Amino acid sequence: MSNIIGYARVSTLEQNAALQVDALTAAGAVRVFTDYASGATDDRPALREALAYLNAGDTFVVWRIDRLGRSVANLIETVNGLAARQVQFRSLTDAIDTSTAGGEFTFHIFAAFAQMERRLISERTLAGLQAARARGRTGGRPTVMTPARLAEAHRMRAEGRTGVHRHHAPGRSCNCGQSPGRH
């Protein structure tokens, strides 16, 4: 007997997978595996578990194609791996169903568009950061080092005093008689 197995992924714990899970359940998924991780990461335990759970004749369903893979190559590798195991692939919002020749063709086209969209987002982000730097803005946390503190740190370094002995690392104690950070 073949089953429909679903996979949902949201990028952070703050995001809600309910929309995807509801759509997958409505499509007939008897079980839905959910990851809370960026699609760019290799560490997606629920995806590994879902892929291991599948049997020949099953259909693996995602809400949208970009929920499955990190790149076009990764998507194609995953879907080809499914096909080799006689598992079909469906993407609900992209109307992809690899059980047909047209669906397989559509899969490859949508995978390329998904990859292009990720690249465009990355390029826009980098361009925005460059524009901000050109205007004198830098990202990250503001520094707490004043010119006086920097001068003191350089002077201490030149004298061979680095500020903290290794045995004064957080959570460690010693009997040297000096308090941490006073060397």
List, for residues 120-149, the tens digit of each pLDDT value: 888 999 999 899 889 988 877 888 888 898
Catalytic residues: 11
In this structure, are residues 6 and 62 in contact, taking their beta carbons and an 8 Å threshold?
yes
pTM of the predicted structure, to 2 decimals = 0.59
Residue bearing tokens 């830098």:
138
In this structure, are residues 37 and 65 in contact, taking their beta carbons and an 8 Å threshold?
no
- The string of DSSP letters for 119-140 reads HHHHHHHHHHHHHHHHTT---S
Domain ranges of the chain: 4-117
How far apart (Å, rounded) are the C-alpha atoms in residues 68 and 64? 8
Q: How confident is the model at residue 166 (pLDDT cuts 50, 70, 90)?
A: low
In this structure, are residues 91 and 65 in contact, taking their beta carbons and an 8 Å threshold?
yes
What totals of helices (H) and strands (E) does the chain contain, helices first?
5, 5
How far apart (Å, rounded) are the C-alpha atoms in residues 109 and 72? 10
How far apart (Å, rounded) are the C-alpha atoms in residues 104 and 152? 65
List, for residues 99-108, the tens digit of each pLDDT value: 888 888 887 7
pLDDT of residue 183: 46
HSE value, Cβ hemisphere, 13 Å, CA-based, for 8:
20
Secondary structure of 4-64 in HEC code, one letter for each residue: EEEEEEECCCCCCCHHHHHHHHHCCCCEEEEEECCCCCCCCHHHHHHHHHCCCCCEEEECC
- Give Cα 155 distance to the centre of its chain: 43
What CATH architecture does domain 4-117 belong to? 3-Layer(aba) Sandwich (3.40)
pLDDT of residue 179: 57
Summarize the confidence of residues 22-29 as an average pLDDT.
95
In this structure, are residues 50 and 60 in contact, taking their beta carbons and an 8 Å threshold?
yes
How far apart (Å, rounded) are the C-alpha atoms in residues 174 and 16? 48
pLDDT of residue 43: 79
